[in-house]
Structure 1
């Protein structure tokens, strides 16, 4: 059914977008902590 396919496709796109956002946020947080720790290591 065409309508069912559209719904499934929309759900996949939404899930994919959420995954990308979550991954980006996770990477940003990790980089932030790494930078903070790096500064501590360098200046101590």
Structure 2
């Protein structure tokens, strides 16, 4: 898993990051979907 190097993330990297956190149980399904929606709408 890539660690933040301070470089701005691409949307794809953000989505992967969210997915990893969701799978790890850090985010609820609702939170995960809400954040995905925000990404897609930005």
TM-score band w.r.t. shorter chain: 0.3 to 0.5
Structure whose alpha-carbon radius of gyration is higher? 1
TM-score normalised by the chain length of structure 1: 0.36
TM-score normalised by the chain length of structure 2: 0.38
Q: Which has the higher helix share?
A: 1
